[in-house]
Amino acid sequence: MNFFKLAGFMLLLSSASVLQAQSGWVKEKGKAFVKSDWVFFRGSTYYNPEEVALTTTPFTQATWHVYGEYGLGHRMALQVYAPLLRWNQFATTSPAIGQGDLKIEWKWAILQGKTPLSLAIAPELPTGRAMAFARNLEIPGDGIFLPTGDGEFNIWTTLAASRSFGRFYASAFAAFNLRTRYQGLAFRHQVQAGAEWGGKITPALWFQMKARVQESLGPGRHPELGFVRGDATAYTGASLGFWYEFNSVWGISVEAGGFFPGLVPLRNLYVAPSYAAGITWQLQ
Amino acid sequence: MKSIKPFFALFAFVLLLSACKEEVIIDPTQPQGTFSVTRSGNFVAQNGTGSMGIAELGTDEEGSQFLRFGDSFTTNFATGTVTVYLSTSETFTPDPANGNPALRLLGVTRAAGEQYFEVAPAAGGNFTHVILWCASANVPFGFASLQ
């Protein structure tokens, strides 16, 4: 068993059970979409890098995200994913609070039309608190690092395609995460693949069902990158969400998701339901 | 000028006395004199922490009991600190309602290498193991059986 080969991700990814969308569509020039939401997670079942489930002190993570996309024209769009505030806490510790890692994505429409295909490049900057420390409230002098960012620079490359079917749509994507180093220690690269199915239930209400698989590549060389830095994380995740448009500008969204044994074993990950609620704004 | 000569002489005398007096600082958290080992054991790692090294229980020349980690001691400090317990078994068995009779918290370790933990009052023979424990997450890092 290896509790530590992962955890960054326990800390950085547990809330990602409410999954980010990936599609082949690229925002048209001058149009914009912004979503601000809170994601909440609490769990005590942790799968270590040896895929063994451990019961730990309950761990809570709450994150305030702001996601925005803007059409730049020339088949390009800019997307920003900003975890502005992240709260990590074990039941035995004080909270560790800080901003997360900022991801800035350039998305390009390779193909347009009925089956659009897009390519996105997204550097993720180590803007989070990589050494955020939480004090143990029961034992003086004891504590644990609960970083709000993994401390490394990495680049996501995503290829996505979509297709409309009347009032429904479907998307699929594949992605590669080129990870670098933290304090001289190399992370394992990651791959992802996923699909999304959604559509309009009523003229103002949308649903979205997402599924995603993530795997880390190669053997781990640095156990110290595990528990608090998110190396080796693997999972199959799914989520269900709804988006209600009050008008052409404002809307609200809710989503629930989780991880489960699927195409890959659960590794270096807290497993419990996570929930998100937010507001949306559009410029059309 | 004559009147201040006695003061200079007195000042020089006090300085001389201070120089002759050797200051002895006693650190009660460290063994005094020779440390005699009564029981010892090697750490067994748990959860991939890489815990290793020797743990020794013994007494100093004052009769105080200490736990010593050897020079080669290490564990995974990437998560923060690690708590050190004496235990009546290799399993961490808390029972706070009854005063945790199976556990004795000795302290917190932050670094690899040799270090001492004072055991006061002295632990009985029923404490047969040392446990390394991530107290924040409640995850075992390793144990050593003292024999």
Q: Is the ipTM beyond the 0.90 threshold?
A: no
- Spatial separation of the C-alpha atoms in residues A61 and A146, rounded to whole Å: 10
In chain A, which among 127-146 make CB contacts under 8 A with chain B?
Answer: 133-134, 136, 138-139, 141-145
Q: Which residues of A126-155 are buried (b: 16+ CB within 10 A; e: fewer)?
A: bbbbbebebbbeebeebbbbbbbbbbbebe
Contact yes or no for A50 and B49 at CB 8 A: no
CA B9 to chain centre: 47
> Which among B46, B105, B134 has the least Cβ separation from residue A144?
B134
Which of A8-22, A128-142, A180-194, B12-26 is least confident?
A: A8-22
- Spatial separation of the C-alpha atoms in residues B132 and B122, rounded to whole Å: 19
- pLDDT over 70 for what percent of chain A? 91
Smallest CA–CA distance, residue B110 to chain A, in Å, is 9
Please, what are the averages of pLDDT over each run of 10 residues along chain B (147 residues)?
Answer: 63 58 69 95 91 96 96 91 96 92 95 96 96 94 96
Chain B residue numbers with beta carbons less than 8 Å from the beta carbon of A92 are 135-138
Number of Cβ within 10 Å of residue B99's Cβ equals 8
Q: Which amino acid makes up residue A120?
A: A
- Spatial separation of the C-alpha atoms in residues A224 and A4, rounded to whole Å: 6
pLDDT at A33 over 50: yes
Whole-number Cα distances in Å, A26 to A29, A153, A159, A242, A244: 9, 25, 12, 21, 21
Note the pLDDT tens digit of each residue in A243-279. Answer: 999 999 999 999 999 998 889 999 888 999 999 999 9
DSSP A147-165: -SS-S--EEEEEEEEEEEE
Contact yes or no for B136 and A141 at CB 8 A: no
Smallest CA–CA distance, residue A184 to chain B, in Å, is 14
Contact yes or no for B139 and A54 at CB 8 A: yes
- Single out the residue of B103, B66, B99 nearest to residue B83, CA to CA: B103
pLDDT at A187: 87
pLDDT at A7: 36
**B120 and A CB contact within 8 Å:** no
pLDDT at A179: 92
**A57 and B CB contact within 8 Å:** yes
Q: Are A172 and A211 in contact (CB under 8 A)?
A: no
> Which among B48, B76, B137 has the least Cβ separation from residue A56?
B137
Chain A residue numbers with beta carbons less than 8 Å from the beta carbon of B136 are 57, 90, 92-93, 134, 136, 142-144
Note the pLDDT tens digit of each residue in A110-127. Answer: 999 999 999 999 999 999
In chain B, which among 63-102 make CB contacts under 8 A with chain A?
Answer: 76, 78-81, 83
Q: Are A96 and A113 in contact (CB under 8 A)?
A: no
pLDDT at B133: 97
3-state secondary structure of B81: coil
Which residue is closest to A142 within chain B, CA to CA?
B81
At which residue do the structure tokens 């075992």 appear?
A: B140
Average of per-residue pLDDT values in chain A: 89
Smallest CA–CA distance, residue A5 to chain B, in Å, is 8
pLDDT at A223 over 90: no
Detail the DSSP E strand segments found in chain B.
36-45, 54-59, 65-69, 82-87, 103-109, 115-119, 129-134, 139-145
Smallest CA–CA distance, residue A223 to chain B, in Å, is 7
Beta bridge partners of A145: A133
Contact yes or no for B48 and A2 at CB 8 A: yes
> Is cis: bond before B101, omega within 30 of 0?
no
At which residue do the structure tokens 């995460």 appear?
A: A177
Q: Which residue has the higher pLDDT, B120 or A227?
A: B120
- Spatial separation of the C-alpha atoms in residues A146 and B112, rounded to whole Å: 21
> Which among A1, A55, A143 has the least Cβ separation from residue B136?
A143
pLDDT at B16: 57
pLDDT at A76: 97
Q: Which residue has the higher pLDDT, A38 or A48?
A: A38
Smallest CA–CA distance, residue A47 to chain B, in Å, is 11
Q: How many CB pairs under 8 A join A and B?
A: 88
**A50 and B CB contact within 8 Å:** yes
**A206 and B CB contact within 8 Å:** no
Half-sphere CA count of A186, side-chain side, radius 13 A: 10
Note the pLDDT tens digit of each residue in A5-24. Answer: 333 334 444 434 445 668 99
Chain B residue numbers with beta carbons less than 8 Å from the beta carbon of A1 are 46-48
